[in-house]
Every structure is written in structure tokens, then in C-alpha cells.
Amino acid sequence: TTLFRSICDHNTCENVKAVRKAAEMKGINVLGGMEITSKEEVHLVTLFDKDEDLFGMQEVVYKNLPGENYPEYFGEQIVMNDEDEKTGENKRLLIGATELSSQQIVDLAHRHSGMAIASHVDREGFGIIGQLGFIPPDLPLDALEISPRISYKKAMETLPIEGYPVIASSDAHRPEDIGKSFTTFLIEEVNLTELKKAFLGKEGRKVFLS
């Protein structure tokens, strides 16, 4: 049994290395990623095995992310180290939307050897179904995510998600929300190759949702 987490801030990955280093001391594996906002205001979780791919994706996002943060309105965007100490502050408008389309984000994630998952598809705000009204059939998503707001059974009954691999995660924006919803995987290692096999039910790998 291995515990792992995927760490995804909005439009940035600057805290991933610190989280991973802190998690290692607790025996937790961390997959780095970003939850990127498309120009249609769709949230897409992108995950990566290698930091070079993750930070390469961040570079593209930063080039396509307009605006500057206003801490008095949106709060500080702090960069931390693994000892919970502030090392810097991100001045970009991370709460904003990029100038990249959903198609471009998915394609870029795959080009950087990553994975793209449509975030909280049960939510009207920033979910792909709520924003677009449907899931484009030619959008090569690796999976869909549901939030703690809905059960897997209810999601399958009420949302147009049949045929897609589905995961559940906490969609946490506060520490106390972490772990409110989770997915169990039957895999041999913590990496994207194994996750993709689980999504497809290949070679004995599986995804379990309650």
C-alpha cells in the first residue's frame, strides 16, 4: 500500500518541490501538476512524472497568463519551502484565465509527457460541462474528475460522462478539505503510465470509487 497525492495549484507549480520534499519525510509520494484555467474558463488538471516537463508546462502557462495579482483583493500568493517558511511571492494573476484554449492545454500537456484531466465536472463554475455545455468529443482527455459535492453513482446517473475514466478528489482550497474525497488505484508504481493503465483497466490495474 502506497499513499500518494497530486499537488496542483492554479496556473503555477512553484510549491511542488517543497511539498514533495516535506511529503517524503512522511512516506507520501507526490505527483506534481497544475490546475490550468483555459480561455473558456475551464479548469484542467495536468499531471507530470518529471519536474522538467512540469516546469516546461509552467513556462508556457506563464507566457499566456495576463494580469498581475492584487493581494488586497485576492490574497498573497506565497512560495514556501519544505520547512513552511516563505521564500517568495508570485505576482502573476494566478486566479485568472490563460489565453490557451482547452484543446491547446490538453495538447500541450501531452506534448510535455503529461496527463490532462477535466476538473470537477459536476461543478457549474469552471467545470467543462458547466462552461461549454458538453465535453467536446475530439478533446483527448485522460480522465474526468468529480468533486466531494457528488457521488460516483449520482455523477453517472446525471452527467454526460459515460465512456470516460472517472476519478474523485477533494478539490481542496483549504487544508481542512484535503482528503474529503479520494480515489483508490490498484497499480504497481506511482507514475502516469500506471495511472493510464488503471484508467483503461489494463494488465490488472484498476480504479476504485465508492
Amino acid 175: pLDDT: 85
Measured distance CA(78)–CA(168) in Å, rounded = 27
Cα 105 → chain centroid: 12
The 10 Å Cβ neighbour count of residue 192 is 17
Amino acid 174: pLDDT: 86
Cα–Cα–Cα angle for 122, 126, 131, rounded to 5 degrees: 85
Q: What is the end-to-end Cα distance of the chain in Å, rounded?
A: 18
The 10 Å Cβ neighbour count of residue 38 is 22
CB under 8 Å to 23, separation ≥6 — which residues? 5, 29, 30
Residue 190 · residue 2 · CB < 8 Å: yes
For the segment 154-209, what is each residue's pLDDT rounded down to a tens digit?
Answer: 999 999 999 999 999 998 888 888 888 999 999 999 999 999 999 999 999 999 98
Residue 95 pLDDT > 80, yes or no? yes
Residue 1 pLDDT > 60, yes or no? no
The residue whose grid cell reads 495579482 is 69
Measured distance CA(107)–CA(112) in Å, rounded = 9
The residue whose grid cell reads 449520482 is 154
